[in-house]
Chains A and B, each alone.
Chain A
């Protein structure tokens, strides 16, 4: 057993977010009155509410134990990298190379050894993507680099 870190951190992040939202909208947006609410009314009130809720989540958690949760940052990194490679690389690299590299990247954390299946999977997914989105739906994305 250890301290309930997820709730402590989660509550703290929410409290800080709420505070920032309230301060930003308090300074930058017109608050208005209850009769004629300005654009700042709703966000300021919500920011204060979020800050208070964050504290209400974090403080009781300080005195509470919880099972540790396994955080898989490696898996997360591979998935996010794969999204950015494909999503942003599509225009620059073209769909086919971007898809191939993105699938390879995404498959890195999969709990199964060997590179052959990863290459085969990347080829297969790229082929399906090409057939469905380029030939089928005709999305008109660049297929190869420099197009």
Chain B
């Protein structure tokens, strides 16, 4: 199927009323979640996972994806108006968005962020279509060793890049891998860490784990902090029109940001938060007036907002074509697909074209909906920020319970949520990343299966990882990353000693 045929086919899927309504629901919920500081896309997607069991898989994926990129739009609202990032990806938008709001130009800042988000998404979609077609053809040459090596590279990249304590990241990934072992071993039928609980035979429930780690932990952490936020001023559509000068300053940063975001989003393990920070740094470097940054530069909003949206779209490239989630949110999406009996991978484009092309077209429709709805409705989103968190979180907890319970009507899973919730809160306090744990949890069984298969084929000779060119490339990449991390921490320590 060529890309044009595919897109035409995708329109047929995405424009079905039953699918379109879930796309609209997803982007609206995503914006809502993004606007509210304290609940991220991760928690929102875990909350919605149980609902997806009742709808068609393509509608489910389209809705969950809508939550993800919709949250990128909404995240900027609280960043600009309150200097509180609605999502981690929009943290960098506070740097110039809040000063603009203080100068009475909050509407313009919101306009720039919405338009940049849209442009970033459009570029992301183009890159997704081109890369996915190419990668899924290349990936048919992948063997078990290549998959295992690539997933290990992804995990190492996720725990080291942009982290100031890589050891803690590694530890969380390994803990996630161990939790992924729980249940019946596929190859031998042996029970691992089930301790006689029949509920654990299929492993720990992904929905319960994700809700405990993100839903519960985020609620506890925000009960007091979210109340202290200020009250935003009203923003009207008429105040959003930028001046001619503002408009002229937008296109280049948007293009640079989208390109950078599209690139980093497609790499496994990096993701949209990193790309928004990198694009801000890049804008500051190429700007002729770097002193304007941090005081309300339009470029400082346009570039990172375009970057994080482009990245959130291209993050689907490794997830859909290789079956390997690039970031924890994609890990949740992958988990949702597997629950629906869809195995993402190089064969998915041919075997389940309605999933892939439907999703691609829904990205376009969803982003257009976001732009059309959000510009006039901005006032409503801003007023959402006035709802005190104390009215919201008890309801969130009830939805968590009903969601987890509805998956298989098991009280055991509720206990899992409670236990994981306690652990997740303490982990967030001590800055151990629960997102990396989830990534390890989802990738663990995949890595183990491929590792065992690769070594069975090679008769136990680990040299197979160096003989196959693809696997060897990933192994070298992993080693380079580890050496780079060691060198960085050594340099940091040396610099600290110089200061002291």
Contact = CB atoms under 8 A, between A and B. Distances in A.
Interface in B133-183: 165, 167-168, 170-171, 174-175, 177-178, 181
A111 B178 contact: no
Interface string B220-248: 10011001000000000000000000000
B430 interface: yes
A25 to B, nearest CB: 7
A144 interface: no
Contacts of B193: 21, 24-25, 43
B177 A125 contact: no
A53 B411 contact: no
A139 interface: yes
Interface string B89-123: 00000000000000000000000000000000000
A7 B401 contact: no
Contacts of B266: none
Nearest to A122: B394
B224 A125 contact: no
Interface residues of B, number: 59
Contacts of B391: 121
Given A46-B178, A83-B421, A87-B414, A72 B397 contact: no
A127 to B, nearest CB: 11
Nearest to B388: A112
B1 interface: no
B429 to A, nearest CB: 5
A18 B181 CA distance: 13
A85 B393 CA distance: 16
Contacts of B190: 29-30, 38-40
Nearest to B174: A50
B394 A103 contact: yes
B288 to A, nearest CB: 39
Contact of A82 (B174, B394, B459): B394
B167 A72 contact: no
Main secondary structure on chain A at its contact with chain B?
A: helix
A116 interface: no
B38 to A, nearest CB: 13
Of listed A38, A69, A82, A122, residue having the most chain B CB within 10 A = A82
B395 A125 contact: yes
Contacts of A56: 167, 171
Contacts of A129: 398, 402
Contact of A111 (B227, B455, B462): B227
Contacts of A137: 54
Interface in A84-132: 84, 86-88, 90-91, 99, 102-103, 106-107, 109-112, 121-122, 125, 128-129
Interface in A54-74: 54, 56-57, 69, 71-72
Contacts of B397: 79, 82-83, 86, 102-103, 106
Interface in B409-441: 411, 414-415, 417-418, 421-422, 425-427, 429-432
B220 A75 contact: yes
Interface string A14-57: 10011001001100011001111111111100110110011011
B394 A38 contact: no
A37 B422 contact: no
B186 to A, nearest CB: 9
A53 B174 contact: yes
Contacts of B415: 84, 87-88
Contacts of B390: 107, 110-112, 121
B220 A69 contact: no
Contacts of B425: 76
Nearest to B462: A34
B291 to A, nearest CB: 31
Contact of B168 (A7, A42, A46, A107): A7
A39 B188 contact: yes
Contacts of A69: 429-430
A16 B90 CA distance: 37
B398 A75 contact: no
A9 B247 CA distance: 52
Contact of A7 (B219, B430, B459): B430
Given A14-B175, A18-B174, A29-B192, 4 more contacts: A42-B177, A69-B430, A102-B401, A121-B391
9 contacts: A21-B193, A29-B192, A35-B455, A36-B460, A57-B171, A76-B220, A87-B418, A103-B394, A109-B223
Interface of B: 54, 165, 167-168, 170-171, 174-175, 177-178, 181, 185, 187-188, 190, 192-193, 216, 219-220, 223-224, 227, 388, 390-391, 393-395, 397-398, 400-402, 404-406, 411, 414-415, 417-418, 421-422, 425-427, 429-432, 448, 451-452, 455-456, 459-460, 462
